[in-house]
Structure 1
Amino acid sequence: MNDGTTYDFSGPVTVFQDRSLPEDATPAGYAALVGALRLAVPLPRTLCAIGAHHRLYERDGWRIYTPRHAPAADLEGHLTFALKYEGLDLLVLKRLFRATGPAPIEALVRATPTGSYARRVWFLYEWLLGETLDLPAAEKGAYALVVDPDLQWAASGTTSPRHRVKNNLPGTPAFCPMVFATEALKAFHDANLAERARAAIADVPRDLLARTAAFLLLKDSRSSFAIEGEHPPQDRIQRWGRAIGEAGRRSFDLDELLRLQRIVIGDARFVQLGLRTEGGFVGEHDRDTRMPLPDHISARHEDLHDLIGGSVAFDRTAAERQLDPVIAASALAFGFVYIHPFEDGNGRLHRYLIHHVLAERGFNPPGVVFPISAAILDRIDDYRWTLESWSARLLPFIQWEPTSTGNVRVLNETADFYRYFDATPHAEFLYACVERTIEIDMPAETRFLRAYDAFRVAIGQIVDMPDRTVDLLFRFLRQNEGVLSKRAREQEFQELRAEEIERVEGAYAAAFASVRDGE
């Protein structure tokens, strides 16, 4: 390839953009391309370099390759290395193509018109930029996969005869987060959690399953508010729970998001409903100056319609192309919360989208909602780390200024930061939450209801009580580890004789032994 353009690819270094290397090594692939073309983008979580020794290893965010892996020190060499060993970083590639312009890419393809990597680069240029290169349609070469499924999660593909490639990208140019095929994710996928969920409820009586589902739904709704630090009245929790219970039944689009926002907000007197009409951020304000102190800066309000449209298209494309449902839910839901399109309600709607994808794709058993929010609440620190895995890397590349109202105004183009992000940590986190709901939460709720029913029957054999009184008795016993407190004996249950109290406590212990033991 020779189009007259040269780039300065550095030699061995010990530090690359404030990231120390484990040894003197030469940046390769995306690291070399970002450095040579001075691309203002968040670096991939793992960078590659060529070391001096014949030992391949990973350390401190670097994967060190041996000298025999060294690419040619030019654009083609490092692009090929990146696609071969690092997969697709669509954000870096789009910024790269903008920086190079069409000529070097056209020269690359003309030099090796049948090469699979050249044709993949060609396709990606036209797909990402929406521009057609001055190249004739490919005539030879086996169809190449755009996404290497050994490196990243791919969807079922559609052919592109012009490039002789199979487009197995999970989304569209408007929204396409990527997920690496880690060992953890492959293990989760192979575990077939959807089938395990169906097997877990196969022997549960229909009435008990209905009650289990109702409790899980309420638990998820309550937990989703608790994650946001809110403790609304019961009717608002139940109203949102009903919305979650209907997830997957309606098409996902902007109108549906607006409907859901009205439900989740409730009292909108002090909240602007609908898409933001100004900037947005997550964080605090300086107490003295009111200067914004952002932990995350949302997408520009000018880009919201396009980004939401891209998210809607991703949801449909991922379903049509049979992308793993949990992978798809991770990309869609976390992408939404990074975009942060609304003034309020984004977090709960983000978690709703998880339910939407799983239900729409039939991942959870019919009528059963996995209490994802409860699992998230139980792992809240991991959840925050997952959110920050992209937000913290993104923040240095957003130029902004404060507004007179204590908000932020973004000064540079940022839409691609929300279209193309590495959703691998998000997928691993969500899969772990889904596994927990199937292996722990669902069986635990069923065990609890079985135990409660047994307790209620046993109480009926000791003393005649209305159901609401039995429930009050249960709550007192539960609060005091199976022993009726002195206060309860002397007030609410003063009519119980000592012998009856002893039998009640024994009934509680017998009924809930299996719950305590986790059987």
Structure 2
Amino acid sequence: MKNKQYSLKIKVFHGIEAPEEGTLVGYGAIIQAYALQVPMPNQLALISFKNRKYSTASWKVFTARHQPEDTLHKQLVFALKYEGVNLLVLKKLFHAVPKQDIESIIKSESLGQYTRRLWFLYEWLLEATLHLPDLNSGNYVNVLDTKLQYAIKGTRSARHRVINNLPGTVDFCPLIFKTQKLETHINANLSDKKNTFLNSIHKDVLQRASSFLLLKDSKASFTIENENPGTNRAMRWGKAIGQAGNKPLSVAELERLQQIVIENARFIKLGLRDEGGFVGEYDRISGDPLPEHISAKHQDIASLLKGLVSANVLMQDATYDAVLAAASIAFGFVFIHPFEDGNGRLHRYLIHHILAKKEFIKQGVIFPVSASILDHIDDYRKVLESYSHPLLDVIKWKVTKDNNVEVLNHTIDLYRYFDATKQAEFLYDCVDDTLKRVIPEEVNYLQNYDAFKRYLDNEFEMPDKMVALLVRFLEQNNGVLSKRALEKEFSALKKEEVKAIEAQYKVIFAI
């Protein structure tokens, strides 16, 4: 431990260009010193040679006075203080450093708040006890600094004099950093604003809007997977979405939902995978897999899902934001990819489930977030790739005889301990868009439809089926009835009546 050099002068680190020349410190320095096989943190820490302090998308830059001593202890204190908790890096480090070295660090400053956090995290992550006596004095400190990362209320650990406010268990615990975007969304109190808006809508219109939005969301979720389901299949999945939040989350419940979403299981094994998995294409000549994402090893799925279900229970804590919980659980599920098929739709179902369970959405009203995701599909792919692509650099795999992938190294922690900040930001953007655009558009459409129908009822006594057909024709032709429609379905209308109907349609629907 004493012979390691941690502080490193750099201009570029692992292909990531620094904003200026400086000294790499904190987690980046630890990763380099121990050659840890982990994806790089979203932000690295740098001591500026120009004595400046600022942040960029990929860097936190500090002044010379922040320079930590060139020891593992002080690099860890710097990392916890300024970069927050990185469970993946810490676990990899704890496996790389002799146990007695960690004990020496803690003994040297056993009452220090960062040392106590480190001590707790070592024993929590490795599920092992260091040869150290329990503390019997000192104020309790949070494991997660709530100025840097989102946390639950937590429970006390008397041995370490810390409050374990981690939003998960040792089997599954994604973390989310506080960002200006997330704070703006959370402080906007979207849930209350949504309910205020919904309460202003007539009950009958709201019920009809909910039915349309349910089908819209179901179809959007299939479209994201490049599927075009029939109406019956979409309605069946929509019905399942409409019941989100009613049943407790469990592996058995996920398997039940997979059976609903997979219409024809002749060529698909239902239930948890019993072999490797990946998302991507196949080489057209060799047939070899070309992964964009490598799923968790099938041997790890049971443990990961157990952790995911337990973490979901912890995140029911009223102090933990509903959208952050939905992002952690839903994206964590799709990264694990526990099933052969249906993972994407179940991933989006989980968003509905958690928003409903945490009462973000009004009872009986679907929140059609899949429709917004579909409208932002490129951003959705980018946020999935922001997790999946860095993993490809640290996962060792080979092609199997049936052109699947077999993972050769230990990877379970990659799916347990990830930074879900980008996923949370994306999901909150979609939630905001759903509230401000998707739902109002549907409600506004129905209100316009009702106004147009009243006009047709008063002027022509037109039956509902014909009204629906007329509106569909007008929608398809920018407010004008086609020659075919005038010659067939609406041949009974006079020219002046057609002009009046088209004019009224354009006024009501603001064409």
TM-score if structure 1 supplies the norm length?
0.97
Structure 2 residue 454 is matched with structure 1 residue 457: yes
Q: 1:106 aligns with which of 90, 103, 113?
A: 103
1:426 is matched with 423
**2:113 corresponds to:** 116
Deviation for aligned residue 1:18? 2.7
DSSP 3-state at the match of 1:283: strand
Corresponding residue number in structure 2 for 1:237: 234
Deviations 1:305-340 (A, max 9, x none): 000101000110111363111001001000100100
Give the match for residue 369 of structure 2.
372
Tell me the secondary structure at the aligned position of residue 12 of structure 1.
strand
Per the alignment, residue 37 of structure 1 pairs with 34
Give 1:16-55 correspondences, 5 Å limit: 16-55=13-52
What amino acid maps onto 2:430 in structure 1?
Answer: C
1:166 matched residue in structure 2: 163
CA contact (8 A) 1:462 1:503 kept: no
Distance 2:40 2:336 in 1: 20
Separation in 1, partners of 2:507, 2:50: 65
Do the aligned residues in 1 keep the contact of 2:7 with 2:25 (CA within 8 Å)? no
Q: CA deviation at 1:5?
A: 4.6
Q: Superposed, which structure 2 residues align to 1:492-507 within 5 Å? A: 492-507=489-504
Q: Matches of 2:282 and 2:190 in 1, distance apart?
A: 43
- CA shift in 2, pair 1:62/1:135, >3 Å: same
Q: How does 1:85-96 map to 2 (within 5 A)?
A: 85-96=82-93
The question of 1:393 aligning with 2:375 is answered: no
Q: How far did 1:138 drift?
A: 1.0
Describe the SS at the equivalent of 1:461: helix
- For residues 192-229 of structure 1, what are the alpha-carbon distances to aligned partners after superposition, in whole Å with 9 as ceiling and x for unaligned? 01001100111211111100111111100000000000
How far off its partner does 1:347 sit? Answer: 0.2
* 1:90 alignment partner AA: L
8 Å CA contact 1:157–1:321 kept in 2: the answer is no
Paired letter, 1:396: D
Q: Provide the C-alpha distance between the structure 2 equivalents of 1:20 and 1:433, rounded to a whole number of angstroms.
A: 31
The one-letter amino acid of 2:163's match is K
Contact 1:6 1:74 (C-alpha < 8 Å) held by counterparts: no
- In the alignment, is residue 299 of structure 1 matched against residue 296 of structure 2? yes
- Of stretches 222-231 and 495-504 in structure 1, the one that deviates more from structure 2 is 495-504
Which residue number in structure 1 is paired with residue 476 of structure 2? 479
**2:132 is matched with which residue?**
135
Aligned equivalents of 1:264, 1:299: Cα separation in 2:
22
Runs of 4+ residues over 4 Å off in structure 1: none
CA-CA distance at 1:490 after TM superposition: 1.2
Please name the residue that 2:436 is paired with: 439
Q: Which amino acid aligns with 1:224?
A: S
Give the Cα–Cα distance (whole angstroms) in 2 for the partners of residues 168 and 6 of structure 1.
Answer: 35
Q: Which residue of 2 aligns with 1:334?
A: 331
Q: Distance in 2 between matches of 1:451 and 1:15?
A: 58
Amino acid at match of 1:495: A
Q: Higher mean Cα deviation, 456-465 or 293-302?
A: 456-465
Contact 1:29 1:81 in 2 (8 A): yes
**Are the equivalent residues in 1 in contact too, given 2:27–2:75 (CA < 8 A)?**
yes
Distance in 2, Cα, partners of 1:33 & 1:321: 36
| Matched residue SS, 2:393 | helix
> In the aligned structure 2, how far is the partner of 1:230 from the partner of 1:245?
20
Which residue of the partner structure matches residue 489 of structure 1? 486
Bigger Cα displacement from structure 2, 194-203 vs 51-60: 51-60
Compared CA separation, residues 60 and 477, structure 1 to 2 (3 A): closer
What letter corresponds to residue 418 of structure 1 in structure 2?
Answer: Y
In structure 2, do the counterparts of structure 1 residues 321 and 489 end up closer, same or farther at CA, with 3 Å as the change threshold?
Answer: closer
Query: How far off is 1:20 after superposition?
Result: 2.8
User: 1:199 pairs with 190, 193, 196, which one?
Assistant: 196
Query: Aligned partners of 2:397, 2:163: CA distance in 1, in Å?
Result: 40
- CA deviations on 1:374-410 (whole Å, 9 max, x unpaired) are 0000000000000011101111100000011110000
TM-fit CA distance, 1:251: 0.5
CA offset at residue 448 of structure 1? 0.7
The range that moved more, 105-114 or 235-244, is 105-114
2:399 matched residue in structure 1: 402
Contact 1:21 1:60 in 2 (8 A): no
- List gaps (5 residues or longer) in structure 2: none
Aligned equivalent of 1:469, options 466, 470, 479: 466
Aligned pair partner of 1:270 in 267, 270, 273: 267
Question: Who is 2:67 aligned against?
Answer: 70
With structure 2 as the length reference, what TM-score do the two structures score? Answer: 0.98
Aligned residues between the structures: 511
Unaligned runs of 5+ in 1: none
Partner Cα distance (2:337, 2:195) in 1: 34
**Residue 383 of structure 2 contacts residue 422 of structure 2 at CA under 8 Å; is this kept in 1?**
yes
Is the 8 Å Cα contact of residues 223 and 377 (structure 1) preserved in structure 2?
yes
Aligned partners of 1:81, 1:504: CA distance in 2, in Å? 71
Percent identity of paired positions between Structure 1 and Structure 2 = 50
Q: Residue 352 of structure 2 corresponds to which residue in structure 1?
A: 355
Distance across 2 between alignment mates of 1:189 and 1:322 = 12
Q: Deviations over 1:116-162 (max 9, x none)?
A: 00000000001111001111111222111100111111111111111
